[in-house]
């Protein structure tokens, strides 16, 4: 492809961005709520209603965002004809984009994007696609919007133009660098999508991730488990992989995911949990006992 034809393709892309921006901007908070209500009507009585802005504030934030397997099999992408396997694959593409962008941005600044920020961005993305279709939104675009949003809420913000340039380089690796006009158009797209993500999650920026539970409860092995530091590291990265490779972030509680990560890390290290916890409950359900899970 010649430079001239490539520039024509990019110009056409930015024209599409302008229409995309106008269309998404037209979606007011009421419009997004109506879209969510439509999803709720399709699956009457589902806990998806927790994501709407009208949900009672008395409901704990983390419990609003836990959905059953059956509910996740009826998300918009699946209802519109996408297979559950492909839907999960698109989630992984979005999560991978978040990781790639964070890695590149961390090379450009002394203030690093934290693992907490990356996980928060993935959680926002998972919540967003419970109510929106991959047929309408590119997972890489939503990844950029979610990372930009999480950077602000988790106190490791990045300038919009830095985020946009990295997103562009990942999405269009063989294209020329953004000039000022294209940068402005692309920035408007990311900001518009950020606003749509905020509306979809009802401005609920709180996320409960498994990592703190893993670190806190792995300390219980400190005096008795040989190689505890290594086990803790493995469990910690298992927690990140769970949010990256699965939709468990909107299917199970953070505590339950932490339980699985600890169990997997102990199995990997061939460490018997019952060597530390000797009560009968620990022998039958060791990680449930460790984390004091009620379910």
My answer on whether 91 and 217 are in the same domain is: no
Residue range of the domain that includes 235: 211-291
CATH code assigned at 229: 1.10.472.10
Tens digit of each residue's pLDDT, the chain (295 residues): 454 544 444 444 444 444 444 444 444 333 443 443 443 343 333 333 333 333 333 344 557 899 999 999 999 999 999 999 999 999 999 999 999 999 999 987 777 999 999 999 999 999 999 999 999 999 999 999 999 999 999 989 999 999 999 999 999 998 878 888 889 999 999 999 999 999 999 999 989 999 998 888 777 665 555 556 778 888 899 999 999 999 999 999 999 899 888 888 888 877 766 555 555 545 555 555 555 544 3
Q: Of 172, 200, 228, which residue is a domain's last?
A: 200
Query: Is residue 189 located within the same domain as residue 75?
Result: yes
Number of domains comprising the chain: 2
127 and 262 in one domain?
no
Any domain includes 206: no
- Choose the final residue of a domain: 200, 224, 250: 200
Could you tell me the pTM of the whole model? 0.75
- Do 151 and 9 sit in the same domain of this protein? yes
In a domain, 205, yes or no: no
DSSP string over the chain: --HHHHHHHHHHHHHHHHHHHHHHHT--HHHHHHHHHHHHHHTTT-GGGGGSTTS-TTS-HHHHT---HHHHTTSHHHHTT--HHHHHHHHHHHHHHHHHHHHHHHHS-SSPPPHHHHHHHHHHHHHHHHHS-TTTS-HHHHHHHHHHHHHHHTT----HHHHHHHHHHHHSTTSPPP-HHHHHHHHHHHHHHHHHHHHHTTT------SHHHHHHHHGGGTTTSTTHHHHHHHHHHHHHHHHHHSSGGGTS-HHHHHHHHHHHHHHHTT--GGGT--SHHHHHSHHHHHHT---
284 lies in a domain? yes
Mark whether 27 and 163 lie in a shared domain. yes
Please indicate, yes or no, whether residues 143 and 269 belong to a single structural domain of this protein. Answer: no
Residues 99, 181, single domain; the answer is yes
- Reported residue count of the chain is 295
Of 159, 175, 200, the last residue of a domain is 200
């Amino acid at each position: 492809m010649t430079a001239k034809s490539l520039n024509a393709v990019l110009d056409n892309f930015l024209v599409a961005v302008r229409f995309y921006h106008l269309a998404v901007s037209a979606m007011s908070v009421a419009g997004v709520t109506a879209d969510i209500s439509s999803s709720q009507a399709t699956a009457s009585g589902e806990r998806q209603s927790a994501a709407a802005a009208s949900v009672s504030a008395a409901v704990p934030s983390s419990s609003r965002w836990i959905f059953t397997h059956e509910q996740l099999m009826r998300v918009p992408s699946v209802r519109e004809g996408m297979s559950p396997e492909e839907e999960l694959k698109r989630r992984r593409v979005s999560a991978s984009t978040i990781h790639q962008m964070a890695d590149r941005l961390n090379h450009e600044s002394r203030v690093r994007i934290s693992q907490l920020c990356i996980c928060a961005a993935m959680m926002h993305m998972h919540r967003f696609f419970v109510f929106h279709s991959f047929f309408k939104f590119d997972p890489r675009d939503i990844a950029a919007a979610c990372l930009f949003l999480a950077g602000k809420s988790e106190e490791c913000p990045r300038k919009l133009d830095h985020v946009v340039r990295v997103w562009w380089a990942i999405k269009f690796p063989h294209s020329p660098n953004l000039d000022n006009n294209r940068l402005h158009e692309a920035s408007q797209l990311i900001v518009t999508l950020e606003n749509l993500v905020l509306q979809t999650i009802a401005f609920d920026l709180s996320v409960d991730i498994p990592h703190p539970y893993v670190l806190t409860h792995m300390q219980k092995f400190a005096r008795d488990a040989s190689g505890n530091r290594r086990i803790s590291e493995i469990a910690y990265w298992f927690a990140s992989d769970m949010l990256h490779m699965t939709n468990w972030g909107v299917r199970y509680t953070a505590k339950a995911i932490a339980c699985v990560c600890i169990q997997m890390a102990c199995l990997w290290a061939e460490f018997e949990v019952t060597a530390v916890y000797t009560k009968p409950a620990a022998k039958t359900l060791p990680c449930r006992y460790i984390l004091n899970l009620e379910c």
